[in-house]
Amino acid sequence: MPITALCILLFFGYKGFVIKSVKFDDIIFLTKTVDGQQDNVVILPSNELLWTKTYGNHVEASLCKITGQFANHYFFGLYRLGSFPFGLRYFKNPKAVYKVDLKIIKKEGDSFPSVGTTNETRIVIYEDRGTIGSNEFRIVSLSESEKKELLRNLKIMVREM
């Protein structure tokens, strides 16, 4: 086996053993509007995700617990989200890539799966946008006072769910 191939195998093998649990350091607010439906997602430092869907006056919401890990980053935009080599993915200039499980702990409405359901997905955060699975959102920058107000309103909303 050529020495280059051996080095590549050792590099990928070593990187496969490095696991870092998911942790969000700040509030991330994501939004998108498609066909009149507005989806807002708030990712909290407590590793919780609140997803609301609004269509006209009708609002549905889901509160999820986030568990998982950072995707293994090899070089350039190459990440591993699953087993090697099939889990390799390329992302152009992400700030962070996560392989996560979203477990629904509370919900309101029928557009979300039942409470207790866990979905495996990926979250990719860029400078100006984010993706959750195949859903793409834009990131809304919030001031510190807006973050405090959002947290206050979220606590009220979650209590009422």
The whole-number pLDDT of residue 60 equals 92
Average pLDDT estimate for 21-34: 91
140: closest CA among 23, 27, 24? 27
DSSP codes, 56-110: TTEEEEEEEEEEEEEPEEEETTEEE-SSTTTTEEE-SS-SEEEEEEEEEEEEESS
Q: Is 20 in contact with 70 (CB distance < 8 Å)?
A: yes
Query: Ramachandran region of residue 85, left (φ > 0), alpha (ψ -120 to 50) or beta?
Result: alpha
Average pLDDT estimate for 95-118: 94
The whole-number pLDDT of residue 73 equals 75
The whole-number pLDDT of residue 46 equals 92
The whole-number pLDDT of residue 20 equals 67
Mean pLDDT of the chain: 85
